[in-house]
Structures are given as C-alpha cells and as structure tokens.
Amino acid sequence: MALFQKLPRARVAVPGAVLVLILLFAAFGNFLTPYDFSTSSLLDRNLPPVFLGGEWDHPLGTDGLGRDYLERLVVGSRVSIGLALVGTIIGMILGTTLGLIAARGNRFVDGAITGLIDFQAAVPFMIIALSVLAVFGSSMTLFVFLLGFYGWETYARLARNSALSAHTLQFVEAARVIGVSPAVIDRRHILPTIANVIIVQATLNFPQTILLESGLSFLGLGIQPPMTSLGQLLGSGRDSLARAWWIAVIPGALIFFTTLSISLLGDVLRDKLDPTTRKD
Amino acid sequence: MMFQTAPMRILRILLTAWAAATFVFIVLRLSGDPVAALIPSDLPQELVDTYRQRLGLDRSLPVQYVNYLLSVVQGDFGYSFRNNEPALKLFLEQLPATLILAGVALVIAVVFGVTSGVIAALNRNTLIDRFFMTFSVFGFAMPNFFFGILLILLFTLNLRWLPSGGFDGWSSLIMPAATLGFAASGAYARMTRSALLEVLNQPYIEMARAKGLTPSRVLIVHAMRAITIPLVSLLGFSVGTMITGAVVTETVFAWPGVGRLLVVSVTERDLAVVQVVVVFSAVAMALSNTVIDIALGFLDPRIGTARRNS
C-alpha cells in the first residue's frame, strides 16, 4: 500500500473519483429506480428525461419499447465492466501462464508458443473475433471466451521476456540448484519478480477490452437483446439519434469516462513502477 | 543485403498468409459441419449433399486442406452466397473506398499528432503541454463509434453541414476520416513529444543553437530528423489500428468499404467473404511491416546492419 501513498494526488484523485462514481452507479444504481431493465411498457414509450421536461418517474426517460432507461444503463454498465474485468483476468492468467511455460520450456515448446504469439500479433484481434463469430454465431459463452483471449499475446510476450531475464537472477539459480521444481520456481520466484509488468499491462488491457466489448456489441455481434451492455445501448440509440440523442450519448460518455479514468490511473501506475517512462 | 534478405521477406509474408488461411480452415472445421455454416440452413438435403460434394467436403481432412490451400493460392476463395459472386471480387470492389479512408485518416493522424507533439514538447510542463497530452489520451480512450456519433450529432443533425453517411462526394469522407484519424493521432502525439524531448537535450542541438541558428531551423532541420525513425516504426503499428478502426467507423458512417462488407458478412454468416478479409488483413499487416523494415534500414543503416548480423 505504500506505493499508493506516494502517488501524486491530483493525477490519482480526479480519475479515481470518476471511476469510483461509475462503479457505484453500476453497483447500486438499481436502487434509484423501481423498474426492471427488460420489462417494456408500451404506454410509456420514448419518454424524455427530466432535463428535457420528463417526469421523475423515469429520470432518464424510456426507450422505444418503454423500458426505463436509467435501469438499462445500470445493467449495461454492469455487463460492460463485468465482462471486461473477467476478460482481462482470463487473458492475464492465460497469457502469463503461456509466457512462463515458454520461458522455461525446451526449444520446441518455446518455438510453438512464440509462433502463436507472432500469429496473434499478425492479424488484428477484431478481425479474428469477427471471423470466429461468423462461424459460430454469437453467444454469451463464446463472447466471454473471445474477450478472454484478447491481448493474451501481449501478456505472454511480456511474461516470457521478463521471465527469461528473471531466470538468470542468482536466487532463482540457487533455487534451481537445490532442486526446487520448475512450477514452484515459477510461482514463488519468477511470478513475484515479473508481477509489476503484468499488472501495468492489465491496466492497459482493461480499457481496450471494454472498447472491444462495446465495439462488437455496437455492431450487433456481441451482447444480444434482451441482455444489454453500454455498447449495445449506444448501438440501439444510433437509429433514434435525431429524436433522442441522449440514448446514444449517455452510454457513450460512460464508456469514454471509464476507459479514460482507467488509462490515466494506469499511466500513473506505470510511471511509478517503471521510472524509464516517467514524464518529468 | 537486399538480395539476401528479399526472399526471406517474401517468405515471411507468404507464411503469414498461410497461417491466416490455416486459421480459417481450422475454425471452420471446429464448428462441426462447414456446409451448415457455409450455406443457408433451409436448403433441401440433396442440394446440401451436392454442395458438399462440389466443395470436396466429403473427402478426408488432409485432402480438403491441400485442396483448400491450392484454391486460395489461385485466388479462389469461394462464392459469397449472399450475392452469388466470387468473394474475392466483392472484396476488391470495396477495397479502394477503404484505402482512401485509411489513407486520409493516416495523414490526419500524423499531421495532427506530430504537430501537437511538437507544440507539447516545446512548451513542456506548461498548461499547453498538459492540454495536448490530455487530448492525446482522449484519442486512446474515446471509442471510434462514439466519436463518430458525436460528429454526426454536431455536423449533420445540428449544423447540417455534412452528410451522415454513405458516399456522395468528398464531403462524405470528412467525418469518417476524422474519426479514424483522431483515434490514431494520440499515439503520434505522445511519441513525438517524448522523442523530441530526448533529442532536445543532445549536445548536437546545443551546438546548433550555439552556432546561432534560428530556433525553427534547429527544430526542423536538426531535431525533427531524429524523430523520423520512431515515426516510421509507428506507421507500421497504425496499419492494424486502421483495419480495426475501419470496421467500426465504416459501419457508423455507412462507408462502402471492406470494414462494412466484413460486418455485413459476419452478421449474415457469409464465410467466403469473411475468409478473404482475414487472409488479406494478415497480408496487409505483413506487407506493411516489411516495407517499414526496409524503410528503417535506409533511414538508419545501423538497423539494417544489426539485423544482418543477428
């Protein structure tokens, strides 16, 4: 925790506060409104939000099916942030594990993993994801799986390279000499040494995963109705842009402020952990 | 040097294309029955069987694989069932629109990014610096599709200056290119700022200043030359950014390019077209990396030598 106390205040406080507000909204926003996110009410379609003369019954109005928009935003934020979190964690575990295996593997294993890394880096992930969705059709399981795969190659490359140099450290050599098993060396000695790099990468990967999720959902290829996410809300608001701009703008702003605050916090963390990139 | 490495470079591009084609082959087989994925499901059984035979899907997997690679090499990626035309033809028809969009966007990204990077570096640690650097983070964090929608709201629905989409005249190009370019400009701004700050402390810059050269001459002739190498390397990364960005941006603005073709084909599960786009994306990235490698070798002979000796 000592790390966090040393961080410059304003660079942390502002994006930190924004992020906390968004997380609170996603977690407890449903208490602001009594409605269910998927129950439609045909008599209350397209109601305006309060700031445009609407009623406090539906503070942000309703969508084209008469569903309370505030509640849909809460659920959408939960889904987007939750999926990105799960995706980032899966990618981090998968990539780091493969990187560690490559670093201590024989030439064949290392070659196979680096080959996969190179292939993944050779085609934009969006294209890979779209081709997989084209073959299998979109489903929630597949979607989580895709988000989990996103960015694995960056973790794997980082973990492999950092682990290769960590393997030459004396205490690691010592552990090897006294016969500690490779798996235990990885877990007890290598992983703590490379953890910083991996965590910084996760702060870069998390906003990217939100953008991938919302991008695919925006295109109608990710989260499928009646479930919703910020990207899906934004995509559905595109058609009613002329009549109800807030339906597209509010989820877009939520995505933007989430990714922006995490990127800014990640920057601070990176400067702290890696002095060579520090802005003076 | 060129003679020795040119075949290796071509080999690398071919390897990437092969890997991408193989990826599609594997994914298609993993889905169980490729025929079910390739054609509409409501066809009578005999037609499905004929189709299977025509595609050679009744043979063993290795035979299928070899046949598949042979046809891909001949430029035969199969037919789009949506409009019953060769998938490659559809792709090539849409390609120019995407190349124009990405090209203009790249120019916007480089000009806007480098300019703001230079301004930030020259005013380092001032409010101006903060402003431009915050702006560059916006470029990273702002989703393409949201920025595009904000532009449509402002310039189409409120000011009524620009068309919201499609392609009629060059005014249609402004918003998509700005959307795609803005997203990529952040990386250029940051790179320029940090590269320039590093260079401005070098003795040769002090020397140039001491000789009495004007500040603009020092900047343009001496300092900017040093950032060409990181700039060119960054151009290589931008190709991937442009491909990904084009998919979303073209859909927002109904731009008649490959990105929109891909999204429509994925929605309709028109796999022949998807396959062409995957293979050519990989080739485009490998090709641009190669061009950048060669360019870097020319710009800085040390890079070429280091690669040769390793």
Task: Encode pLDDT of B139-189 as tens digits.
Answer: 878 888 899 999 988 888 878 787 777 777 778 888 999 999 998 898 899
Higher-pLDDT residue of B39, A215: A215
| CB–CB contact B149 A133 (8 Å) | no
Long-range pairs for B162-171 at CB < 8 Å and ≥24 separation? B164/B253, B164/B254, B165/B252, B165/B253, B165/B254, B165/B255, B166/B253, B166/B254, B166/B255, B166/B256, B167/B97, B167/B255, B167/B256
In the structure, what pLDDT confidence band is assigned to residue A96 with cuts at 50, 70 and 90?
Answer: very high
pLDDT at B106: 94
- Judge if the upstream peptide bond of residue A226 is cis by omega within 30 degrees of 0: yes
Average pLDDT over residues A23-37: 83
Q: Is residue B138 pLDDT above 50, yes or no? A: yes
Dihedral (Cα; A262, B151, B179, A51), 10-degree rounding: 10
Residues from chain A that touch B140, judged by Cβ atoms under 8 A, are 207, 259, 263
Q: What is the pTM of this model?
A: 0.86
| CB–CB contact B266 A221 (8 Å) | yes
By the CB < 8 Å criterion, does B137 face chain A? Answer: yes
Q: Is residue B49 pLDDT above 90, yes or no? A: no
Compute the nearest-CA separation of A126 from chain B (Å): 6
In the structure, what pLDDT confidence band is assigned to residue B303 with cuts at 50, 70 and 90?
Answer: low
Q: Is residue B258 pLDDT above 50, yes or no? A: yes
- Average confidence score pLDDT of chain B: 83
Average pLDDT over residues A245-257: 91
Give, in order, the Cα–Cα distances in Å from A187 to each of A70, A106, A109, A277, B208.
45, 19, 19, 28, 53
Which has the minimum average pLDDT: A107-111, A201-205, B14-18, B301-305? B301-305
pLDDT at A182: 87
pLDDT at B261: 93
Q: Is residue B309 pLDDT above 60, yes or no? A: no
Is residue B274 within 8 A of residue B262, CB to CB? The reply is yes
pLDDT at B39: 66
pLDDT at B40: 64
Residues from chain B that touch A135, judged by Cβ atoms under 8 A, are 27-28, 30-31, 37, 269, 271
Average pLDDT over residues A136-160: 90
Residues from chain B that touch A220, judged by Cβ atoms under 8 A, are 267
The whole-angstrom separation of Cα A49 and Cα A30 is 17
Q: Is residue A209 pLDDT above 90, yes or no? A: yes
Shortest CA distance from A244: residue in chain B: B153
- Average confidence score pLDDT of chain A: 85
The whole-angstrom separation of Cα B138 and Cα B157 is 24
pLDDT at B305: 60
Which has the minimum average pLDDT: A211-220, B106-115, B224-233? B224-233
By the CB < 8 Å criterion, does B275 face chain A? Answer: yes
Q: Which of A63-77, A250-264, B75-89 has the highest mean pLDDT?
A: A250-264
pLDDT at B132: 87
The whole-angstrom separation of Cα B40 and Cα A237 is 30
In the structure, what pLDDT confidence band is assigned to residue B107 with cuts at 50, 70 and 90?
Answer: very high
Q: Is residue B1 pLDDT above 60, yes or no? A: no
Is residue B301 within 8 A of residue B294, CB to CB? The reply is no
Beta pairing class for B85-86 and B79-80: antiparallel
By the CB < 8 Å criterion, does B24 face chain A? Answer: yes
pLDDT at B37: 64
Q: Is residue B4 pLDDT above 50, yes or no? A: no
Q: Is residue A55 pLDDT above 80, yes or no? A: no
Higher-pLDDT residue of B119, A37: B119
Compute the nearest-CA separation of A210 from chain B (Å): 9
Put simply, the chain B residues between 203 and 242 with a CB less than 8 A from any chain A CB are 240
Is residue B104 within 8 A of residue A175, CB to CB? The reply is no
pLDDT at B2: 43
Task: Select from B37, B143, B149 the Cβ nearest to the Cβ of A214.
Answer: B143
* Total beta-carbon pairs less than 8 A apart between chain A and chain B: 129
| CB–CB contact A127 B269 (8 Å) | no
Percent of chain B residues past pLDDT 90, beyond the cut = 19
Residues from chain A that touch B125, judged by Cβ atoms under 8 A, are 280
pLDDT at A2: 45
pLDDT at A49: 81
